[in-house]
């Protein structure tokens, strides 16, 4: 079961029954430190702006080339972070399929 669902159970127990946080967490099977934890992810505004600026100038560049250009500009963002933002903005390029050679029926040689 996901942590968010367990956290919602704890909230429900607190409101409905008026029990302590420790008891509600124990019943829901959630550690108290997990209940109080808030993530500290920095905002992605700078990454979004930099990616959109590059994509506006070079729309056919894919993620590897964009990431290389960002590094060349002195940005020290993690590749996984840039990839997450790239996918979130739906900047993925369409992959071109293979061009198939039409099937040909062999004919006997005329002699």
The domain ranges of the chain are 3-36, 45-88
Phi-psi region of 6 (alpha: psi -120 to 50; beta: other; left: phi over 0): alpha
Its pTM stands at 0.60
If 0-12 CB within 10 Å is exposed, 13-18 middle and 19+ buried, where does residue 89 land? middle
8-26 per-position pLDDT tens digit: 999 999 999 999 999 999 9
36-72 per-position pLDDT tens digit: 999 888 899 999 999 999 999 999 899 999 999 999 9
Residues 6+ apart with CB under 8 A from 71: none
Q: Give the C-alpha separation, 7 to 32, whole Å.
A: 10
Other C-beta atoms closer than 10 Å to the C-beta of 31 total 13
Residue 111 scores a pLDDT above 80: no
Contact 10, 30 (CB under 8 A): yes
Confidence (pLDDT) at 54: 95
């Amino acid at each position: 079961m996901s942590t968010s669902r367990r956290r919602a159970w704890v909230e429900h127990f607190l409101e409905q029954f008026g029990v302590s946080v420790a008891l509600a967490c124990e019943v829901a099977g959630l550690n108290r430190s997990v209940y109080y934890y808030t993530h500290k992810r920095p905002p992605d505004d700078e990454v979004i702006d930099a990616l959109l600026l590059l994509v506006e100038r070079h729309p056919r560049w894919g993620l590897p080339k964009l990431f290389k250009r960002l590094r060349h500009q002195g940005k020290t963002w993690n590749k996984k972070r840039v990839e997450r933002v790239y996918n979130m903005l739906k900047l993925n390029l369409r992959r071109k399929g293979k061009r198939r050679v039409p099937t040909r029926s062999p004919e006997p040689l005329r002699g």
